[in-house]
Amino acid sequence: MAGGALAHRNFSYSRLQTFKQCPAQYRFRYIDHLKPTGRSIESFLGICQHQTLEWLYRERLAGHEVIFDQVLERYRAIWSDGWGDDIRIARPSWSTDDYYQLGMRSLAGFYRQYAPFKEPVAGTEQSLSFDLDGSGRYPMRAILDRLDHHGGGHWSIHDYKTGRRVLTPTQAQGDLQMKVYFQALLATREDVDQVDVVWHFLRHGLEVRLNRVEWNSKRIIGMLGKRIDQVREAEKRPETLEPNETVLCNWCYYWDVCQAKQGQEHPAQVAG
């Protein structure tokens, strides 16, 4: 099967979340395949930071020492290569430079915290396609920011967070996104005895970690299967996928086709 068709068939955490947050947005993105009219600067910044850290660990895996100036240089190059006039700022008090500097500060904090990067990295941006319950009915895909292998079946899954929100330990225990990654690891490897999960809140220089998680795999499979069933049911009647207006609309770039926003001007500004 062609990659595009497979990607469309596969369910991911972000696809399920989009459906939950706004069914209309889900329709525009995953059924109608419409191109959004803009990109939020927050998501652009997040991509730049992820790609910079991916590069950093690749360099380390190749046996190269990395000094912070090189990290900055890479960040700068990724930022300027990816920049486009479709990038928008929804927070009126923030400038493009504020975001750029925030990215630099976050990477500097990460560098200070983890240099010389001796973690036993098994892979970065690991794309895992898996069959949720072995029946073939629920194809899923997860992209892990980083996967470390400590040996003897001991793995740690790392997720870089670039937003403002930090998870509390209770929220971390219930985090569905990480559970999808956990399940992806279990489904794609046989040598898994112990899994630690780690969130890196880059903006705050904070790490939240759960060691030796004891998540119930059957329960995760059941919950995800149920959510996929709901989405598939709704997909049969796309006209019922209604807009759900929230503050997140300001970061959504489907206003031109969203019936809830007809005739309204998007509040975000073109980033300069």
Q: Which residues sit at the interface with ligand SF4, rule CB under 6 A?
A: 22, 24-25, 243-245, 248-249, 252, 254-255, 258, 260-261
Q: Least distance from C-beta 27 to ligand SF4, angstroms?
A: 8
Q: Least distance from C-beta 175 to ligand SF4, angstroms?
A: 22
Q: Does residue 130 contact residue 187 with C-beta atoms inside 8 Å?
A: yes
* Residue whose structure tokens are 């960040």: 75
Q: Least distance from C-beta 235 to ligand SF4, angstroms?
A: 16
Of the candidates 267, 169, 251, the one whose C-alpha atom is nearest the C-alpha of residue 210 is: 169
Q: Least distance from C-beta 17 to ligand SF4, angstroms?
A: 12
Tokens coding 9: 């068939």
- Cβ-based nearer residue to ligand SF4, 32 or 233: 32
Tokens coding 228: 């996929």
Instruction: State the number of CA atoms in the 13 A half-sphere of 190 facing the CB.
Output: 0
- Cβ-based nearer residue to ligand SF4, 127 or 230: 230
Q: What is the CA radius of gyration of the chain?
A: 20
- Cβ-based nearer residue to ligand SF4, 25 or 183: 25
- Cβ-based nearer residue to ligand SF4, 5 or 247: 247
Reduce the secondary structure of 8-25 to three states and give it as a string.
Answer: HHCECHHHHHHHHHCHHH
Q: Count CB neighbours of 240 within 10 A.
A: 11
- Cβ-based nearer residue to ligand SF4, 19 or 55: 19
Q: What is the dihedral of CA 171, 172, 175, 178, to 10 degrees?
A: 170
- Cβ-based nearer residue to ligand SF4, 223 or 260: 260
Q: Least distance from C-beta 226 to ligand SF4, angstroms?
A: 23
H helix runs in the chain, sequence order: 3-9, 13-21, 23-26, 41-61, 68-82, 96-114, 169-173, 176-188, 217-235
Q: Does residue 83 contact residue 236 with C-beta atoms inside 8 Å?
A: no
- Cβ-based nearer residue to ligand SF4, 182 or 253: 253
Residues near 40 by beta carbon (within 8 Å), at least 6 away in sequence: 87, 88, 90, 251, 253, 268
Q: Least distance from C-beta 238 to ligand SF4, angstroms?
A: 13
Distance CA 230, CA 228 (A): 5
Q: Least distance from C-beta 240 to ligand SF4, angstroms?
A: 14
- Cβ-based nearer residue to ligand SF4, 194 or 250: 250
Q: Least distance from C-beta 49 to ligand SF4, angstroms?
A: 24
Tokens coding 76: 């700068």
